[in-house]
Structure 1
Amino acid sequence: MARFSRVLTIALTVVAALVVPVAPAHAAYGSDIVVSIDVYGQGFKLSGAYGTIAFDNGNAKYRYSIAMC
């Protein structure tokens, strides 16, 4: 009986490992850094870009949101 319960425990563990989906690891992003770029020509504003950028805790990835006008 002890051998059966051991085999059953191993089988259930294997099935649980296959059924439970593994989620990919997500890097924690730092706080948003405000980005603001203005382009001037002859004293007049010609265009600009505005938004945010954030780097992950390892500085390997980033996310951004930029609007240009």
Structure 2
Amino acid sequence: MTDGLTLLLAALGVALVLEGFLPMMAPTRWRRLFEQVMRLNDGQIRFFGMASVVFGLLIFWWAV
């Protein structure tokens, strides 16, 4: 396996672990948080998505 693919798979694994902590440890709280997200309008969701992409790209740029 190439180093790039190994790094990509490792990053994906870490992301999945982090994403799984809240539903695993506090499913009721996760459900309430998800219900609040469902009440956001499209512009708010797009803003959070854009902020996540920019932050992720900055981390990627810094790491590479």
TM-score (norm 1): 0.30
**Bigger Rg, structure 1 or 2:** 1
**Structure holding more helix per residue:** 2
TM-score (norm 2): 0.32
**Structure holding more strand per residue:** 1
